A and B are shown apart, each in its own frame.
Chain A
Amino acid sequence: DAKTTQPNSMESNEEEPVHLPCNHSTISGTDYIHWYRQLPSQGPEYVIHGLTSNVNNRMASLAIAEDRKSSTLILHRATLRDAAVYYCIPRLISSGSARQLTFGSGTQLTVLP
């Protein structure tokens, strides 16, 4: 599985944009990039995923570098509810066999009021 590097922690002010970086320099051409977040006392929550193009959904945007060796999760306006551990996870394309998520340590995002 591809290895990822994320900062241990980041801070943001409420209602400001947040850019969470992830380096995945060993990613293969068939790995989707998934982002999950985990709020205190809850299970991980799916945020977004993409393969090559930038992706947007109601929660966030995902910007993928052209060489796919890095990506950035963008929260457009951070709220206090966005305080969580954010995990960047490459996941292999497969069918008919198990492809689990390999969680690293993630980035602890603190949102300041």
Chain B
Amino acid sequence: KQEVTQIPAALSVPEGENLVLNCSFTDSAIYNLQWFRQDPGKGLTSLLLIQSSQREQTSGRLNASLDKSSGRSTLYIAASQPGDSATYLCAVSTSGTYKYIFGTGTRLKVLA
């Protein structure tokens, strides 16, 4: 059974710092992996999606990498800003884009 773990559960950093969020999964036979952002009281917004055949994806200050053999993905945030404060969720699909297993998230606080 696929399990997704995110460590740490919470992280507090000063503005401007580069940071890495970690996601690990137990079954390397994945279809794709998504990183989401969730603001308090809101829904999830997809940040980056990495397909099984890809190693990384980039969008602006965000870079996500995927290493299936080790069951790991990282989300790199460059030059963090207070507006980046949110919960970041990692989700893995083993079959199609309709069925994801989610980690419990990392709650990020960027201090001004």
Partners in one complex: no
- Seen from chain A, the residues whose Cβ lies within 8 Å of a Cβ on chain B are none
